[in-house]
A and B are shown apart, each in its own frame.
Chain A
Amino acid sequence: MDIRALESEATDALEKIHDAQALDAWHTMYLGRKSRLNAFMRSIGELSLSEKKTIAPIAQAVKKQLEEAYTRREKYIQKSNEGAAFDVTLPPLYPAYGRLHPLTRVERSIRSIFSSMNFSVVEGPELETEKYNFDSLHIPKNHPARDMQDTLWVSTEKGRLMRTHTSPMQVRHMEKHLPPVRIIVPGRVFRNEATDASHEINFYQFEGLMVGEGVTLAHLKGVLTAFFERFFERPMEMRFRPSYFPFTEPSVEIDIKAENGTWLEVMGGGMVHPEVLEGVGYNPQAVSGFAFGGGLDRFAMIKYGIPDIRLFYGADMRFNNQF
């Protein structure tokens, strides 16, 4: 009989055992009274003296090893039974963490993209003066052009109003800085219009302005193409269409192509009107610039597929927690 083969057979069998009952059966089979090992050991007595001298110690060693292996396995099985009471499949307990508002997330993404193109982020007051909101932007008084933006007035007499766009910061910033100027202005703006799925009494815009020597309309296209592709994280098709804003000339409407192939109007822009530049003491013969503005809410709606602008201002955690 091959004692070594017996040993490896017993060892292999032992490793597959995970409960006490099977372990008992194994013990009976390999170390019990009727086991093959026991029979073998009894048969050693019939051998010659020289054979006894070689075989007996081996058989003894195998027996001892199997007994030790049995004890180890017994302890191992006891230990794993203790662990079984610990339930690792219980559902998770989540850490408490808050969420930034989706508009904050979008605003940060816009800020970071423009910062990477060396635009500074500046902000301005929500309660503005008529001078900065309209006059300095060349929006004529008593002209239907002012009606394009329904205004919430704090005092018509003193010319105090809730800014209807972020554009006043163009002028405020240029008054205090010499060209070259590169800014991005995010902020809350106000319109006196009834609220529905696509209109809010307050919403967010972001304004971009770049003024310096030799700034062209082609640069506006270059900067915005880079912006759209990074913001939407895919190649973007965009187009300019003719438009009218009193503070840009030429003025363009800026459309991007949605994934379904339709054009979406997302921004207005153009070359800064020479009268706006003159108003802040710049020389329009020496410097030129572009400006653009878009609705932050609209960008968030397009990016996340949000159907109703009012959700942003409803403070419902079932909405806010999705971002």
Chain B
Amino acid sequence: MKFSYKTLERIIPDIPPIESVAEKITAHLFEIESYENSILDIKILPNRYSDAACYRGIAREIAAMCKLSYKAPKYSAPKAKHKDITNPVIEVPNLCRRLMTCQIHDIAIGTTPAWMKEALETYGIRSINGIVDITNYVTIETGQPLHAFDTDTMEGNELVVRQAHEGEVVTTLDGKEVVLTPSALVLSDSRHALDIAGIKGGTRAEITRTTKNIVLTAGNFDGTLIYKTARRIGITTDASIRFSHAISPDIAVQGMHRALELITEICGGSMGSICDTYPKPIKPITLFFDIKRFNNLAGLNLKESACLATLASLGFTISGKKITVPLERTDISRFEDIVEEILRLHGYADVPATPPSIAVMPLVPEPMRALKDDIQNTLVTFGYTEILTRSFSSDGEVALENPLSPEQSFLRMHLKEGIVNALALNAKAFDTVALFEIGSVFTKKTTHEPHEDIHCAIALKDKRLKDEDTFRSVRGAIDALCTKLGISNVEYAEDGATLTIAIHTEVIGTITYLAHEGGGTYAEFSLSKIMPHTTSLYSFTPISRYPSITRDVSFITNTTLKAGALLDAAWHDVPHSVTDIRFMGVYAGKGIPEGKKSTTLRFVFQSKDKTLTDTEADDFLSYIMDAMRERVEFEIK
């Protein structure tokens, strides 16, 4: 909110220079956006909007911070000169706590004084005419929104605060026709709604240049109601913002009195008496000061008298340890609230930096956090670089109600989109792109409730490798990662260009060749699914003292036979001295018949108990090959 330094000076004649006021406000009250050209732009915090978004409130704060002797101006309404009244009637006392009215006869529209124009323009309000300017100015001076109606165009001598009728239309001052429902309140004469209460005035009974007789009103409307109504009808005004922050019904008096003072001064006219419907006047909150508790929360060692004096400077009434909160301070209801008042005025700079003395407890890492750390560390050593992409997608199972754009209208259900895009982006600049991401994904389970899981995706594109070798490389990374995490029983099943990954028969993820996305391989798996299978408990296996014997065999098979099938057949029935069967490579072309290929496997034999002989190794090999023949067709090169 923009405050005119000149207006502040009128209210606090001994106010310090603007720079030092700005510095004080920053240290003790609010953030200052700027203070140039005698304008202080102050960021009013939401809890203080109800009392400090006005000159009266800010002046009180400045006086307290700068330790000036200051008395809040007392306003007094001029004496009544006639007996005409507009009776304020409140039909909904839970939503409208107060309504004040006062009729003024024979007003001249008046000329707005320069100082008032300056204050209004600083705030961002255009000067319109005497009466309107006065109501606007009084709002920014006292914080109380006001509204005036032309009594000559009103019907009856009542102003009723009631729920709008279903479908009732109010044409606002800027010519918009707003259709209301009973959840909105209106101010109404005996026949028609005149405005949308607390939000916007209507054209009916509007003040014009020819207006002679008016009724000035100051009301107090429920914050929640105004907040919801303003949002629903899409009209936000200065008044609606003020009411939304729950201003005190007490300040209606200040607004009314100050406006009548200024109207008499500027527009003349003859005042009537003030009518005030205020069914349940609010009572001041009282709190008891406890210096020990204060110092315990603050970590300071202040004296009680100093604390109470600080509160007094802010307008709190002190009597012994009893503190009465000013009625306009709707933000204060508990002891901790006054702790803040004292602390901020005293200054946070004095709060010492004290290390806490604590009972030390062993830190037990959360299993999911530990797993993420393990995976990150392992994949980095494998050459994969971590990326983070946005949590949104153009497609998914969990939609957002208020997306920022159509491309981000769903929560991502997997990490594929982000990492595959990243592969393409980076392939322009790098021959090898190896990436991984760990992040939350969102799906709808059968219950239709959105469900969050944490996934890991890894992706590889390498211009120096054949596509099948990038696939093997990603599979190798997954396999080695599982070993590193202590996961055993990892199984893979072929499904087109995809390999599903399962642990103990539960599918935990997939590895996919990106045939349609320009090549490369991508894998994704669920962390919550692998977590129960991880372990850091390794046990030692004795290392054989005897040498191993290897035999390389080339199998000539149909080209359609996949390496996996050949290896499965080889492993199907093996003597226990077989320690490994390694894939050495595949070859087709010169020397191999059309439609055939040659796959070389290396068989490794080793005993725990003795040195194997060549004959024994050859026997093992022929045993394995016999078993293989029952499963796959092949010839030996």
In contact, A144 and B352 (Cβ under 8 angstroms): no
In contact, A154 and B349 (Cβ under 8 angstroms): no
| B-side interface residues, number (CB < 8 Å) | 93
| Bound form: Cα–Cα A242–B340 in Å | 8
- Best-buried of B297, B366, B401, B440 by chain A (most CB within 10 Å): B297
- Specify which chain A residues have a CB less than 8 angstroms from the CB of B411 in the assembled complex: 127, 154, 162
Spot the interface stretch: B259-267, B353-361, B504-512. B353-361
Spot the interface stretch: B24-32, B109-117, B319-327, B534-542. B24-32
In contact, B450 and A217 (Cβ under 8 angstroms): no
Residues 191 to 237 of chain A near chain B (Cβ within 8 Å): 192-194, 201-202, 210, 212, 214-219, 221-226
In contact, A217 and B46 (Cβ under 8 angstroms): no
- Which of A154, A201, A244, A253 is close to B404, meaning CB atoms less than 8 Å apart? A201
Q: Which residue of A is nearest B231, CB measured?
A: A142
- Specify which chain A residues have a CB less than 8 angstroms from the CB of B361 in the assembled complex: 118, 120, 180, 182
- Specify which chain B residues have a CB less than 8 angstroms from the CB of A98 in the assembled complex: 379-386, 434, 436
B224 CB–A CB distance under 8 Å:
yes
- Specify which chain A residues have a CB less than 8 angstroms from the CB of B516 in the assembled complex: none
In contact, B351 and A250 (Cβ under 8 angstroms): no
Q: Which residue of A is nearest B340, CB measured?
A: A250
1/0 per position for A264-278, CB-CB distance to B under 8 A?
000000010110000
1/0 per position for B351-377, CB-CB distance to A under 8 A?
111111011110111101100010010
| Bound form: Cα–Cα A148–B49 in Å | 13
Spot the interface stretch: A13-21, A47-55, A83-91, A99-107. A99-107
In contact, A180 and B359 (Cβ under 8 angstroms): yes
- Known contacts A188-B391, A201-B404; A104 and B386 CB within 8 A of each other: yes
- Specify which chain B residues have a CB less than 8 angstroms from the CB of A192 in the assembled complex: 402, 404
- Specify which chain A residues have a CB less than 8 angstroms from the CB of B392 in the assembled complex: 201-202
- Which of B26, B241, B385 is close to A241, meaning CB atoms less than 8 Å apart? B26
- Known contacts A144-B244, A217-B297; A251 and B366 CB within 8 A of each other: no
In contact, A249 and B358 (Cβ under 8 angstroms): no
- Specify which chain A residues have a CB less than 8 angstroms from the CB of B435 in the assembled complex: 315, 317
1/0 per position for B324-356, CB-CB distance to A under 8 A?
000000000010110110011000110111111
User: A220 to nearest B CB, angstroms?
Assistant: 8
1/0 per position for B382-415, CB-CB distance to A under 8 A?
1111111111100000111111100010010000
In contact, B227 and A144 (Cβ under 8 angstroms): yes
- A contact patch SS: mixed
B245 CB–A CB distance under 8 Å:
yes
B309 CB–A CB distance under 8 Å:
no
Give the bracket for the number of chain A residues in contact with chain B.
35 or more
- Which of A194, A222, A240 is close to B356, meaning CB atoms less than 8 Å apart? A222
| Bound form: Cα–Cα A243–B26 in Å | 10
User: B60 to nearest A CB, angstroms?
Assistant: 15
| Bound form: Cα–Cα A313–B392 in Å | 12
B315 CB–A CB distance under 8 Å:
no
| Bound form: Cα–Cα A101–B435 in Å | 11
- Specify which chain A residues have a CB less than 8 angstroms from the CB of B228 in the assembled complex: 142
A123 CB–B CB distance under 8 Å:
yes
- Best-buried of A125, A151, A221 by chain B (most CB within 10 Å): A221
Q: Which residue of A is nearest B222, CB measured?
A: A142
In contact, B386 and A320 (Cβ under 8 angstroms): yes
- Which of A108, A222, A241, A312 is close to B354, meaning CB atoms less than 8 Å apart? A222
In contact, B450 and A316 (Cβ under 8 angstroms): no
| Bound form: Cα–Cα A273–B358 in Å | 21
In contact, B300 and A218 (Cβ under 8 angstroms): yes
In contact, B426 and A317 (Cβ under 8 angstroms): yes
B623 CB–A CB distance under 8 Å:
no
In contact, A188 and B440 (Cβ under 8 angstroms): yes
In contact, A100 and B380 (Cβ under 8 angstroms): yes
7 inter-chain pairs at a CB distance below 8 angstroms, sorted by A residue, are: A123-B369, A144-B227, A153-B401, A162-B411, A210-B356, A218-B352, A250-B336
- Given A99-B385, A316-B426, 4 other A-B contacts at CB below 8 A? A98-B383, A118-B360, A144-B46, A225-B353
Nearest 3 pairs of A and B residues by beta carbon: A218-B299, A216-B299, A250-B340
- Residues of chain A having any CB pair with chain B under 8 Å: 96-101, 103-104, 108, 115, 118-123, 125-127, 141-145, 148, 151-156, 160, 162, 180, 182, 188, 190, 192-194, 201-202, 210, 212, 214-219, 221-226, 239-244, 246, 249-253, 271, 273-274, 288, 312-313, 315-318, 320-321
